[in-house]
Structure 1
Amino acid sequence: MAIYLVGDVQGCYVELRQVLDQAGFDQNKDELWLTGDLVARGPDSLATLRYLRSLGDSAKPVLGNHDLHLLAIWEGFKKPHKKDYLQAVLDAPDAPELMTWLASQPLLRKLPDCQAYMSHAGLAPQWDIDTAIEQAGFIHQCLQSDRRFYLEAMYGNEPAAWQHAKNELQRFRYSVNALTRMRYCTPSGDLEFTHKEHPEHNPDSNLTPWFELDQNLNSTEWIIGHWATLEGQCSHPNVYALDTGCVWGGTMTLLRWDDKKRFQVPSVKRIG
Structure 2
Amino acid sequence: MTATYAIGDLQGCSAPFNALLEQMGFTPETDRLWLAGDLINRGPDSRAILTRIHAWRDHVQFVLGNHDLYALARWAGIIPAKKNDTLGAVLSDPRVDEWMDWLRNGPMLITDATLGWTMVHAALHPDWDLAQAQDHAAAVEAALRGRQWRRFIKSLWADPVPNRWQECRNEEEAQRFRVAVFTRARYVTAKGFFSWPSTPPRDAAHEFAPWHQWFLERQTTGAIICGHWATQGLLVRPRLLALDSGCVWGRQLSAARIDGAEPVIYQTPCPMFARPDSG
Normalising by structure 1, we get a TM-score of 0.93
**How far apart are residue 44 of structure 1 and its match?**
0.5
Partner of 2:226: 224
Post-superposition CA distance 1:132-183 (Å, at most 9, x none): 1011111111011121011011134421111222322111111000100000
Whole-angstrom distance in 2 between the partners of 1:3 and 1:216: 28
Partner of 2:151: 149
Q: Which residue identity is paired with 1:206?
A: E
Q: Which residue identity is paired with 2:198?
A: H
Partner of 2:273: 270
Q: How does 1:81-160 map to 2 (within 5 A)?
A: 81-145=82-146, 146-155=148-157, 156-160=159-163
Contact kept, 8 Å, 2:115 with 2:258, in 1: the verdict is no
> SS in structure 2 opposite 1:32?
strand
Q: Which residue identity is paired with 1:265?
A: T
Q: Specify whether residues 103 and 218 from structure 1 end up closer, same or farther in structure 2 by C-alpha distance, changes over 3 A only.
A: same
Q: Specify whether residues 15 and 8 from structure 1 end up closer, same or farther in structure 2 by C-alpha distance, changes over 3 A only.
A: same
Post-superposition CA distance 1:184-214 (Å, at most 9, x none): 01231221112349xxxx9921211111112
List alignment gaps of at least 5 residues for structure 1: none
Contact kept, 8 Å, 1:38 with 1:67, in 2: the verdict is yes
Residue 184 (structure 1) aligned to one of 166, 182, 187: 187
What is the CA RMSD across the aligned residues, in angstroms? Answer: 1.9
**How far apart are residue 55 of structure 1 and its match?**
0.1
Compare 130-139 and 162-171 and name the one that shifted more: 162-171
Residue 167 (structure 1) aligned to one of 170, 178, 185: 170
Percentage of identical aligned residues: 36
Whole-angstrom distance in 1 between the partners of 2:198 and 2:52: 33
Q: How does 1:170-249 map to 2 (within 5 A)?
A: 170-196=173-199, 204-214=205-215, 215-233=217-235, 237-249=238-250
Whole-angstrom distance in 2 between the partners of 1:188 and 1:113: 33
1:50 maps to 2:48: no
Q: Which residue identity is paired with 2:62?
A: P
Whole-angstrom distance in 1 between the partners of 2:187 and 2:229: 10
Contact kept, 8 Å, 1:189 with 1:213, in 2: the verdict is no
Q: Which residue identity is paired with 1:246?
A: C
> SS in structure 2 opposite 1:247?
coil
Contact kept, 8 Å, 1:126 with 1:162, in 2: the verdict is no
Normalising by structure 2, we get a TM-score of 0.91
Whole-angstrom distance in 2 between the partners of 1:114 and 1:24: 20
List alignment gaps of at least 5 residues for structure 2: none
Whole-angstrom distance in 2 between the partners of 1:225 and 1:250: 14
Compare 105-114 and 176-185 and name the one that shifted more: 105-114
> SS in structure 2 opposite 1:97?
helix
Whole-angstrom distance in 2 between the partners of 1:34 and 1:183: 19
> SS in structure 1 opposite 2:89?
helix
Contact kept, 8 Å, 1:224 with 1:243, in 2: the verdict is yes
